Amino acid sequence: MANFNEDDMPEMTVERVHRAPVIKGDFKLLPKKVKNFITHCVHLMAPRGIYISDGSKKEADEFIQKLTEKGTLTKLTAFKENYLCCTDPEDTARIESKTFIVTSNKYDAVPHVKEGVKGILGRWMSHEDAAREMSQRFPNCMTGRMMYVIPFSMGPLGSPFSKLGIQVTDSSYVLLSMRIMTRVSLKVFDVLRDGTFVKCIHSLGCPRPIQGRVKNHWPCNPEKVIIAHFPEQRMIQSFGSGYGGNSLLGKKCFALRIAGTIARDEGWLAEHMLIMSITTPQKEEYFIAAAFPSACGKTNLAMLNPTLPDYKIHCIGDDIAWMRFDKLGTLVAINPEHGFFGVAPGTNSKTNPIAMRCFEENSIFTNVGETSDGKYFWEGLQDETPRDVTIKTWLGKDWHRGKSTELAAHPNSRFTSPAKQCPIMHPKWDDPKGVPISAILFGGRRPKGVPLVFEARSWSHGVMIGACVKSECTAAAEFKGKSIMHDPMAMRPFLGYNFGHYLQHWLDLEEPGRQMPKIFHVNWFRLGEDGKLLWPGFGENIRVLDWIIRRCDNDDSIAVDSPVGLLPRPGSINMDGLPPIDESELLSLPKQYWLEDIKENRTFLEDQVGVDTPPIIFNLLEEQEKAFRANQQATAQKLLTCS
Ligand code: OXD
Ligand code: MN
């Protein structure tokens, strides 16, 4: 399966491929490579028919009606075209332990980890093992089901930045969600001609007649889940899960893992980053990209509601950025996606009023609770849900405010809504030319030790900072608890090739004549001695962005040197109108904490990336350590509270 070559397959010209009739679409008109791909999939998975999606509203309406009749979707009657979907409780998140990169050479996919250490930067599988695993899953896996063929573009159709994909799937929920998250259109076939496309093969792994019980009208096969990426073949094979990142293959699988390899080969970047613009009261506009691990508030930042007067924010994307240097040496970015697949819990009119407006219509809510007045409900919406409505949890149980101990919504429950519904979407969000990036931010949930913001001294220092990103783990994947995990460049779950090579690729992008964006690290989540957040976050983060853009204009009066990079000079972040903030604590660099942190980062890189780590990263860590040890008398030390 893994090595099939669609050019070798006989061209099919009939409206019936093998035993599967073409139910919708004109198979004859498809490019040869697509016909051969479909034919191969039909032979392998034996669906009862082939349905070529045109991405139209009419088509979506038909599926919504069918899924509503079946009980997979429930209309949220308080809205125009909003639907609730609850999955099998065993299929609620990305499964990193079952996500693999399949390459001929192991070290193309993953770094050389230290002997005895379990690698966490990607999982490799050989072609032989993959072929065996796939052969135990895919043959006849669509028996009795329709195979939907979804032609889609990541990025504006026809843009030189964009890449095309064809997903086959037996899930109509996936078809509906792909229509929101990507640009699904028959025009893809025209643009494609006989060019390349990423082959995306997805099956729920539940052929008919179904063995066993289907929970919540959500067929899936949790025991057999596998999500395999074949970067050399530009192919993805996903089996057993219908959920989000496991099944909407345009998102993490294509736009990050496969695109990562394409980007390396073609000299650009595919990153887990939001893209936004900030317009100052003087009407200057700055575009930034920011990488935070899953569920650390990328969507909230991308849709920030600024509390400083006369600042304007526009959103270009909330999860993925494709960036490349143009001929003039400017880093330009596009959002390859077409919708938001945002974490629902915690989203409300205070934390993200803009997101609340994105999903007023045409949206799908997955694994959230439901109110008796036809609305969605999740943790964080208590204050805006009338007390007299009754609430059902995502598992269909009654939920009582202040009494129920279980959660109303799954912690990884999501809203899926069209990007164009975002009221602050940038007029150029869909521009094939992309937007110019002035700054790149890294960040994570760091309850201790890490200042609100600091700036890298150089591009390579910024890469080192990105390589050391850590965060409290979240519900977006299968992890539990509150431990701090390494999530370098916020890409740990999304790496498509050896992380050491990935760091080298970043370093190699620095070339004479290019305007390298400044790199920053931010942390909204630092706690004080009393366990309370030191920084109010959300709309107040504009104050940090304001400092960042002033630094992009090279205002040296607002920065002081420190062992970690440049810190805000005390008083340089606009705190007007805020309740008292312990700025010195917020910006402090506890020496012992950092010495341990540097040691831990070094061990992490030695263990996990080993000889593949670009030596400069170790040198920069060493410099940082020396600076901490030596800086008892340094200026920064005098200016800042370093314990
Ligand atoms: C996501 C994630 O779904 O990062 O965006 O997990
Ligand atoms: Mn994400």
Tell me the C-alpha distance between 470 and 446, whole Å: 7
Q: What is the pLDDT of residue 15?
A: 52
Q: Is 217 helix (H, G, I), strand (E, B) or coil?
A: coil
Q: Which atom of ligand 1 is found nearest the CA of 477? A: 6
**Cis amide prior to 219 (ω within 30 degrees):** no
Strand ranges (DSSP E) for 281-431? 285-291, 312-317, 321-325, 331-334, 339-343, 361-366, 369-371, 376-377, 391-392, 398-399, 414-418
Give 569-598 as a DSSP string: PTT-S--TTPPP--HHHHT---HHHHHHHH
Domain 270-335+429-603, architecture per CATH: Alpha-Beta Complex (3.90)
Radius of gyration of the chain (CA): 25
556 CA from centroid of ligand 1 (Å): 36
Q: What is the pLDDT of residue 3?
A: 45
- Among protein residues, the one whose CA lies closest to atom 2 of ligand 1: 294
Q: Return residue ranges of the chain for CATH 3.90.228.20.
A: 270-335+429-603
Which of 296, 358, 468, 642 is flagged as catalytic?
296
CB burial of residue 633 (10 Å; 0-12, 13-18, 19+): exposed
With b meaning 16 or more CB within 10 Å and e meaning fewer, what string describes 94-121? bbbebbbbbbeeebbbbbbbeeeeebbb
Q: What is the pLDDT of residue 482?
A: 63
Q: Which ligand is nearest to the CA of 473?
A: 1
For a mutational test of ligand 1's pocket, the pick from 177, 243, 319, i.e. the residue with the most ligand atoms closer than 8 A to its C-beta, is 319
294 CA from centroid of ligand 1 (Å): 5
Q: Which ligand is nearest to the CA of 412?
A: 1
- Among protein residues, the one whose CA lies closest to atom 1 of ligand 1: 294
Strand ranges (DSSP E) for 435-576? 435-436, 439-443, 453-455, 470-472, 484-486, 518-522, 559-562, 565-568
Q: Which atom of ligand 1 is found nearest the CA of 294? A: 4
Q: Which atom of ligand 1 is found nearest the CA of 476? A: 6
Q: What is the pLDDT of residue 16?
A: 62
Residue 403 CB partners (closer than 8 Å, separation 6+): none
Q: Which ligand is nearest to the CA of 244?
A: 1
Q: Return residue ranges of the chain for CATH 3.40.449.10.
A: 16-52+96-266
Q: Could you list the mean pLDDT of each consecutive 10-residue stretch along the chain, which spans 643 residues?
A: 45 58 95 94 96 98 97 97 98 95 98 97 98 97 97 94 97 98 97 90 97 93 97 98 97 98 98 98 98 92 97 98 98 98 96 97 98 98 97 98 96 97 98 97 96 98 98 64 87 98 98 98 96 96 98 98 97 97 96 97 98 98 96 48 38
Q: Which ligand is nearest to the CA of 475?
A: 1
Tell me the C-alpha distance between 549 and 288, whole Å: 9
520 CA from centroid of ligand 2 (Å): 19
For a mutational test of ligand 1's pocket, the pick from 292, 343, 415, i.e. the residue with the most ligand atoms closer than 8 A to its C-beta, is 343
Q: What is the pLDDT of residue 540?
A: 98
For a mutational test of ligand 1's pocket, the pick from 252, 416, 474, i.e. the residue with the most ligand atoms closer than 8 A to its C-beta, is 252
Query: Where does ligand 1 bind, in terms of residues with CB under 6 Å?
Result: 94, 244-245, 294, 319, 341, 476
608 CA from centroid of ligand 2 (Å): 22
Tell me the C-alpha distance between 11 and 594, whole Å: 62
Regarding the domain delimited by 342-417, which CATH topology (the fold level of the hierarchy) does it fall under? Phosphoenolpyruvate Carboxykinase; domain 2 (2.170.8)
412 CA from centroid of ligand 1 (Å): 9
Residue 296 known to be catalytic: yes
The whole-model pTM stands at: 0.95
CA neighbours closer than 13 Å in the CB half-sphere of residue 397: 11
Q: Is 305 helix (H, G, I), strand (E, B) or coil?
A: coil
Q: Which two tokens stand for residue 266?
A: 């073609």
409 CA from centroid of ligand 2 (Å): 19
Cβ count near 547 (within 10 Å) = 22
- Among protein residues, the one whose CA lies closest to atom 4 of ligand 1: 294
Q: Which atom of ligand 1 is found nearest the CA of 94? A: 6
Q: Return residue ranges of the chain for CATH 2.170.8.10.
A: 342-417
Q: Which residue in the block uniquely carries the two structure tokens 């341990």?
A: 596
Domain 16-52+96-266, architecture per CATH: 3-Layer(aba) Sandwich (3.40)
